[in-house]
């Protein structure tokens, strides 16, 4: 898989999300000698990965820069980094709420700029990463980004950059919502009389197995649910509660709307 990797990978910041991405790339064969991480603390990241506390004098041609710091730091980062970025530099930004126009304004001489919105399961190779590139980006640039993102899980190119908040609400925030569901399922099991530790194990295994089954099935999850539910049986009675007045759909729609709306507020400085 060595041919999928950038010649050099320069990470500005290596927090939770960028760290998960790097962990997965290294596990999939990325040579740590190709990686440099800018980290003010100087803390080590992984064996063989160079950590620096100041910007280098230059970036090698063919370098891909991953912007993984906090969005509010963009101005300060660009002041130091932009002079190092030329046409041979690709920028991959995971900065929430930071549109391509702002990135291009900060890095006018850089090569292709791509926005990415990954979620935490990328560290396991089971994540979702939404991508959006400038209209002028070449097919070769998109192909290179596709190859880099492929080890992280599902990659989805988003045609409308304005939908990034919707994407973030669904797949970016989604793991937290699912973690809450697993916890609630376990607590419900406890509420009807199961030991708490046993209910927790069973809830987690049930969700894990069901998700894998849905991923491998040719039918939609909606069809699978109905196939599990025999008429007049226990599952159907439970589904009748979830389905009444579309209460589950409405709850999740309200949840995603709240997350999306907060993203829009943050983008406006709120």
For the segment 240-263, the average pLDDT, to the nearest whole number, is 96
59-86 residue pLDDT tens: 999 999 999 999 999 999 999 999 999 9
pLDDT number for residue 270: 66
3-state secondary structure of 37: strand
99-158 residue pLDDT tens: 999 999 999 999 999 999 999 999 999 999 999 998 878 888 999 999 999 999 999 999
- Answer yes or no: are the C-beta atoms of 48 and 103 closer than 8 Å: no
For the segment 153-182, the average pLDDT, to the nearest whole number, is 95
The CATH number for 2-159, chosen from 3.40.50.10780, 3.40.50.10800, 3.40.50.720, 3.10.20.30, is 3.40.50.720
Distance CA 25, CA 48 (A): 13
Contacts for 258 with CB less than 8 Å, ≥ 6 apart? none
As a whole number, the mean pLDDT across the chain is 94
Residues of the chain with CATH 3.40.50.720: 2-159
**Whole-prediction pTM:** 0.89
Residues of the chain with CATH 1.10.3730.10: 174-267
3-state secondary structure of 13: coil
| Band (268; pLDDT cuts 50, 70, 90) | confident
Relative orientation angle of helices 196-216 and 174-191, to the nearest 10 degrees? 130
Distance CA 134, CA 145 (A): 13
For the segment 196-208, the average pLDDT, to the nearest whole number, is 98
DSSP H/E element including 228: helix 221-228
pLDDT higher than 60, residue 2: no
The fourth-level CATH superfamily of domain 174-267 is: ProC C-terminal domain-like (1.10.3730.10)
pLDDT number for residue 236: 96
Distance CA 208, CA 210 (A): 6
pLDDT number for residue 129: 97
- Answer yes or no: are the C-beta atoms of 203 and 185 closer than 8 Å: yes
């Amino acid at each position: 898989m060595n041919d999928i990797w950038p010649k050099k990978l320069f990470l500005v910041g290596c927090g939770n999300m960028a760290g998960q991405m790097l962990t997965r790339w290294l596990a999939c064969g990325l040579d740590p000698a190709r990686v440099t991480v800018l980290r003010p603390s100087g803390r080590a990241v992984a064996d063989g990965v160079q950590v620096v506390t100041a910007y280098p004098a230059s970036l090698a041609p063919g370098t891909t820069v991953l912007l993984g710091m906090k969005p509010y730091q963009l101005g300060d980062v660009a002041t130091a980094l932009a002079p190092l970025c030329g046409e041979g530099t690709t920028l991959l930004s995971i900065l929430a709420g930071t549109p391509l126009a702002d990135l291009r304004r900060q890095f006018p001489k850089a090569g292709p700029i791509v926005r990415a919105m990954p979620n935490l399961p990328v560290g396991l190779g089971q994540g979702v990463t939404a991508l959006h590139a400038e209209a002028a980006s070449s097919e070769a640039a998109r192909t290179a980004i596709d190859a880099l993102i492929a080890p992280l899980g599902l990659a989805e190119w988003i045609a409308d950059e304005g939908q990034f908040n919707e994407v973030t609400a669904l797949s970016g925030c989604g793991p937290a919502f699912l973690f809450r569901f697993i916890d609630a399922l376990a607590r419900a099991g406890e509420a009807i009389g199961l030991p708490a530790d046993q209910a927790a194990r069973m809830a987690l295994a049930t969700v894990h197995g069901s998700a894998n089954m849905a991923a491998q099935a040719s039918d939609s999850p909606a069809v699978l649910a109905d196939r599990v539910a025999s008429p007049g049986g226990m599952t159907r009675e439970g589904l009748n509660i979830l389905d009444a007045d579309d209460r589950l759909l409405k709850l999740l729609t309200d949840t995603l709307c709240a997350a999306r709306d907060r993203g829009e507020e943050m983008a406006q400085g709120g």
